Amino acid sequence: MKTNTIVKVLVDIGMTIILMLLMAYELVGRQAHEWLGMGMMALFVLHHVLNRKWSKSIFKGKYALFRLFQTIVVLIILITMLGSMISGIMLSEYVFAFVKLGSGYEIFRNIHMLSAYWGFVFMSIHIGTNVGVMTGMIKKTRAYNSKSGRLIFISVPILISCYGIYAFYKRLIWQYMFLVSHFVFFDYSEPLIFFMADYLSVMILYATLGHYLSKLLQSLSTRKA
């Protein structure tokens, strides 16, 4: 694997870990949440620098179904990231404490919530649209090509996704996405690992949906061509 590819993978892994910790918000502490947000901002910029060839080609070439879908997902992530960053700075109590918010606290808090939860869902979908390199590597292994390997490789994400549907409702994520609830509920007596496991299952749910939807769109594009 090329050095540039390794760096991209490491940056993406770093962003995924930070994203999970950011969703834990009160469980990791508000000050830690703000510094993690700074880390996410830095990795987000680095991610786009490393993938600048894709960005430069956005207005070039034809748009097949998969490319259109992929581009829309990326644009939504960009909007949610900007929303999270700007609202996060305005609401900051530590890193940007010098920024004084005269009014509009409620508006920025709602923007931050919407950006965080919609961003989480679409970043998960984005992961699913870009797992081709990893799945390609796995398919070359002896374990995958064994009698049970392929079945395990396909069934495990689907089984986790089934639990992810339950966790999506259990954690009230759908309510936060549509501002049905304006306050995020945290059980402070709950071990962080349980919270992270539920959110990881939701991430895998949307990544799996993104992966199979991408395969379907690619297949439809090939047939049309």
pLDDT at residue number 6: 84
Residue 94 contacts by C-beta under 8 Å, 6 or more apart in sequence?
A: 30, 31, 34, 35
**Predicted TM-score of the model (pTM):** 0.91
pLDDT digits (tens, 9 = 90+) for 23-76: 999 999 999 999 999 999 999 999 999 988 888 888 888 899 999 999 999 999
**Among candidate residues 97, 109, 112, 73, the one with its CA nearest the CA of residue 207:** 73
Helices (H), 57-148: 65-91, 105-129, 132-139
The C-alpha atoms of residue 143 and residue 8 are separated, in whole angstroms, by: 25
The DSSP output letter for 93 is S
What pLDDT is stored for residue 104 in this prediction? 87
Burial zone of 21 (CB within 10 Å; 0-12 exposed, 13-18 middle, 19+ buried): buried
Quick one: pLDDT at residue 15?
96
Which segments of the chain have a pLDDT < 50? none
- The C-alpha atoms of residue 31 and residue 93 are separated, in whole angstroms, by 8
pLDDT for res 132: 67
